[in-house]
């Protein structure tokens, strides 16, 4: 599939590049964390939240709202799932990485056709905002040797334990964590664990 740049006009519907942030210290802190073979995710990591960028992200990117600064890291080339939150997510990578994205308004009867998914390459160290209406999931690495280490900035509490309530709508059944609605491809481990099967078509693999 074609891989666009986040500087291409095609990206404007999905997110924006954030300017005026010094990401060097954060990237150095991420590099100190060992790279796994598969994919790891932690909503908040103390060594990353101790970086000077944390306060500007709080004040400027999220308008003063409480945030968490965690990381998704490892090796991945597949789509597997798409998720969304009720707010934007900010990503910053130590190396170039690829985001596979679709739009929330492309969900039809609880399902997205993966033929609608677009790929965008994000340069190392560049903060990128992924809009709340953009469906996304784990980043893909560009180079297998480097893998990917991508900071994930979200409102505090996102992706922690799912609230306990009786579903009152179809969308309620897609929730797998706090502020996280998930559409899984039938081939994914998430689908096999009971997540809503909400992707049809090819399970995209950029490898």
Q: CATH 2.60.120: does it fit domain 3-200?
A: yes
Q: Are 7 and 121 in contact (CB under 8 A)?
A: no
Q: What is the distance between the alpha carbons of residues 155 and 160, in angstroms, rounded to a whole number?
A: 11
* pLDDT computed for residue 109 by the predictor: 98
* pLDDT computed for residue 69 by the predictor: 99
Residues recorded for the chain: 207
Report the helix count and the strand count for the chain, using DSSP H and E: 4, 16
186-193 contacts at long range (C-beta below 8 A, 24 or more positions apart)? 187/80, 188/80, 188/81, 189/80, 190/80, 190/81
Q: Are 73 and 31 in contact (CB under 8 A)?
A: no
- Averaged over successive runs of 10 residues, the pLDDT of the chain (207 residues) comes to 98 98 98 97 98 98 98 98 98 98 98 98 98 98 98 98 97 98 98 98 97
Domain residue ranges in the chain = 3-200
């Amino acid at each position: 599939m074609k891989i666009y740049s986040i500087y291409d006009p095609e990206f404007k519907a999905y997110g924006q590049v954030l300017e005026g942030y010094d990401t060097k210290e954060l990237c150095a802190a991420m590099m100190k964390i060992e790279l796994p073979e598969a994919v790891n995710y932690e909503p908040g990591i103390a060594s990353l939240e101790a970086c000077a960028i944390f306060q500007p992200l709080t004040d400027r990117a999220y308008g003063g709202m409480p945030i968490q600064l965690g990381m998704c890291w490892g090796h991945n080339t597949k789509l597997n799932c798409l998720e969304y939150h009720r707010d934007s997510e900010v990503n910053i990578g130590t190396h170039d990485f690829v985001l596979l994205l679709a739009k929330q308004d492309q969900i039809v009867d609880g399902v997205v056709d993966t033929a609608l998914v677009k790929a965008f390459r994000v340069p190392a160290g560049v903060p990128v905002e992924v809009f709340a209406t953009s469906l996304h999931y784990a980043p893909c690495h560009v180079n297998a040797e480097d893998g990917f280490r991508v900071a994930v900035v979200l409102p505090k509490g996102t992706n922690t334990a799912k609230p306990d309530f009786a579903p009152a709508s179809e969308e309620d059944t897609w929730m797998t964590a706090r502020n996280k609605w998930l559409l899984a491809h039938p081939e994914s481990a998430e689908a096999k664990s009971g997540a809503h099967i909400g992707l049809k078509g090819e399970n995209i693999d950029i490898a």
